[in-house]
Amino acid sequence: MSNISRRGFLAAGAAAAAPLILPSRVLGLGGEPGPNEQIVLGCIGVGGMGNMVMRSMNRWHPVAAVCEADTQRAEAAAGLLDNDVDRYGDYRRLLDRQDIDAVIIATPDHWHAVQTLHAVEAGKDVYVEKPLGNTIEEGKAVLDAVHRHGAIVQVGNQGRSNELFHRFYSFIRNGEIGSIKRVDNWHYPNPEGPSPPDQAPPDHLDWDMWLGPARWRPYNPAYCHSTFRWFMFSGGGNIRDRGAHMLSLVLWALDRDNDGPVKVTATGTPATRGNYDNPIEMDVTWEFTDPEVTVTWRQPGDPPEDGLDIGYGIAYHGEGGSAYHWGTADEPGCGVSDNVADYEPSADGVQLYRSAHHHQNWLECIKTREQPIMPVGPAHRAASMCILGNLAYLLGRPLEYDPRAERFINDGQANLLLRSPGRGPWHV
């Protein structure tokens, strides 16, 4: 790949064109399965992101069924595939299929943990969009189930499969700017929404199924489909949307995939109109110890260089200098600061996990039973940072946290918010 700095852009689709390198056991040596063995897939949630992931995966292995609470979306998604596809409104019927080996979950955020847990218990491997869970306890429950059942689960924090970011984070992890002391995430604000009244749901939408584990509420068109991310119950705003990507990369940089902060402080500016309930502007600070590192989220925030008119990115500040990048996943327009553009780690340096393509990496790992580049452990810790930031904002006070016990210290009210009771059969 050609060098890319802030003077250039990552070519769209470059990562998708990268070849998949399979280990010998997948190639049929030693009595192992051969390359023509198919992984039969099911897709739960086939809206915007689900539609994209479904079509990507279907290039390599067949999608046999889709599930959607919205029948119009189910029909539209099925019509995009050449193979015959069954449609379901209840994902449990899809999980009952013995011929389906693995599932893609791309429903709104409040469904991710429950459906992943049920899929793993049904013996399926899972690709689930980020964030992994809506609460800390959801993430812990999924992590436990994955370990008990031996499932291969890839979470859609795609930045770790980006070749440019592999170079950038190799630079950071090999100490090229020294020990990291501060990490600054900048991002544009959350939007303010419209104010439609509650009303009857459209005939093609099963509103009760769409809500699932969320507390029941009357249908409102502001809630869905793509706008679900602007509500605390179903999305959590930019910090839980793109923030899940960014904080995943921060943990990768700090080599703290199984760790968390000891304190979180957050302030925000509430919306003054419309139905959305995420803060428009938001500042969050996470404090880590052993070693001490401060991580910030500024919404909006200032890019680290004058004239860099980029909406979001991450700047790392070490004892020996700084480095930054913008963009967070496999998307056009990603870039890095000039001091990283030509970096290649030495043969005896830190060698990070290399994934040619996030979706292919999961499919390869299903065959090898090795762990993918973004398993549930680090995905849970990245989602937890997002959740902790929102809880500190909602409670309006700094929160002290025990990252090993994953509980707040001497704060019973805050600890009650680590879990959600779910609704009816939909809970962990």
Residue ranges of the domains in the chain? 24-158, 160-346+376-416
- C-beta of residue 222 within 8 angstroms of C-beta of residue 372: no
Q: How far apart are CA 373 and CA 358, in angstroms?
A: 8
Tokens representing 59 are 């290039």
> What is the enclosing helix (H) or strand (E) of 278?
none
Residue 245 has pLDDT above 90, yes or no: yes
Closest CA to 327 of 345, 310, 348: 310
Confidence category of residue 33, pLDDT binned at 50, 70, 90: very low
Q: What is the pLDDT of residues 263-272, one digit of tens each?
A: 999 999 999 9
Write out the H or E segment, with its range, that includes residue 180. strand 180-187
Identify the pLDDT of residue 341: 87
Determine the Cα–Cα distance for residues 283 and 186; give it in Å rounded to an integer. Answer: 10
Number of DSSP helices (H) and strands (E) in the chain, helices first: 11, 15
The pLDDT value recorded for residue 180 is 98
The whole-chain average pLDDT of the chain stands at 91
Q: How far is CA 222 from CA 200, 212, 226, 231, in A?
A: 13, 17, 9, 9
Q: Which amino acid is at 339?
A: N
3-class DSSP state of 118 = helix
CA distance 95 to 91: 6
d(CA 94, CA 92): 5
Query: Which of 349, 419, 384, 390 is closest to 257 using CA atoms?
Result: 384
> Poorest-confidence range of 99-113, 166-180, 219-233, 304-318?
304-318
What average pLDDT does the segment 355-360 reach? 94
Least confident of 110-114, 177-181, 349-353, 423-427: 423-427
What fold, for 160-346+376-416?
A: Dihydrodipicolinate Reductase; domain 2 (3.30.360)
Quick one: pLDDT at residue 12? 29
Cβ atoms within 10 A of the Cβ of 307, count? Answer: 6
The more confident residue out of 136 and 82 is 136
Q: What pLDDT score does 173 carry?
A: 98
Nearest-angstrom CA–CA distance, 376 and 383:
10
- pLDDT, tens digit, for every residue of 291-350? 999 999 999 998 998 888 889 999 999 999 999 999 887 677 889 999 998 999 999 999
Q: Is the pLDDT of residue 27 over 50?
A: no
Interatomic CA distance for residues 316 and 306, integer angstroms: 16
Which residue in 239, 242, 206, 240 sits closest to 224, CA to CA?
Answer: 206
Q: pLDDT at residue 82 above 90?
A: no
What CATH number does the domain located at 24-158 have?
Answer: 3.40.50.720
DSSP designation for 395: H
Pull the structure tokens for residue 360.
């292919």
Q: What is the reported pLDDT for 305?
A: 87
pLDDT at 70 over 50: yes
pLDDT of residue 80: 92
Cis peptide before 131 (omega within 30 of 0): yes
pLDDT 10s digits, 148-201:
999 999 999 999 999 999 999 999 999 999 999 999 999 999 999 999 999 999
Give the per-residue pLDDT at 327: 87
Both tokens of 316, joined, read: 């790392």
